[in-house]
Amino acid sequence: MLYQQIARNKRKTSLVMAAFFLLVALVGAALGYWFNGSAVFGIFIAAVIALIYISVMVGRSTEVVMNMNHAREIHSATEAPQLWHVVEDMAMVASVPMPRVFIIDDPSPNAFATGNDPQHAAVAATTGLLQLMNREELEAVMGHEMSHVRNYDIRLQTIALALSAAITALVNFAGNFWWLGGGRSRDDDEDSEIGVLAIFGSILLVILAPLAASIAQMVLSRNREYLADAGSVELTRNPQGMIAALRKLENVQPMKQADPNSSALYITDPEKNAKHKRWFAHLFDTHPPLEDRIKRIEEM
């Protein structure tokens, strides 16, 4: 069951990332057709913009994310012995290099991992997490984060964030300069029903693109959280530790200084109380409901 779940989630992730790149291409094609009468030209420009965003985000992800979340780095076990040794142990079990370790001064329990790859990874835990969790539960949480590192989820989330930013930039350009477009395509296809439909479709696609990008990010994040939970069980050989940790995260207060753009990175949504929500309130969450995550582990 464990390895089947891991394989299934990896396949879903590949499909979501393919859909993300397809969405960028479609937005580029729509803008290219509207402004230049050429969908191919638009796809080329969109690809260039996306690559620029990805390069910038991947190159500076750790520093940017840690600064946005007010995290301070610790450099030895003397500063936070239990956290340091647990991260060290989980990195060894996961066969990845020891990541940089950060602490966020916040009473709400939470944690996340970021970076470009396992060789340049970093993990962060809040002071609330260190106070609430016993060693077994802390191992489960860090096993979850180390699974994100081992599975390259940290890079996937960075790329997804960059693609969303690229889509936003393209849509903002269209919103600011829409009046410059449409001339060439209308001249060529003034009496063409196909041309009119293509223009209408381009406008509709550009309007809906940011929502589609948000949904893609949501699906990607949810899928990777299930996979990281399973990965933690694989690393610790202790499903009860992961279950106990998730139960302690069910009824906690939101974090005070978490950056909204980093919400998908955390083990649970830092901006919302995970419990006492109606089913429809979970539809647009970046994380699956904790009760669902616990149920999946219990079924392993």
Q: Write down the pLDDT at residue 282.
A: 55
Question: pLDDT band at residue 280, thresholds of 50, 70 and 90?
Answer: very low
Whether the Cβ atoms of residue 125 and residue 104 lie closer than 8 Å to each other? yes
Q: Write down the pLDDT at residue 8.
A: 66
Average pLDDT value for residue range 244-258: 90
* Mean pLDDT lowest among 53-62, 186-195, 279-288: 186-195
Q: Is the per-residue pLDDT at 263 higher than 80?
A: yes
Q: Is the per-residue pLDDT at 259 higher than 70?
A: yes
- 136 belongs to the catalytic site: no
Catalytic residue among 145, 225, 250, 299: 145
Average pLDDT value for residue range 254-280: 75
* Residue located via tokens 């995970």: 274
Q: Residue-wise over 48-73: b if at least 16 C-beta within 10 A, else e? A: ebbeebbeebbeebbebbbeebbbee
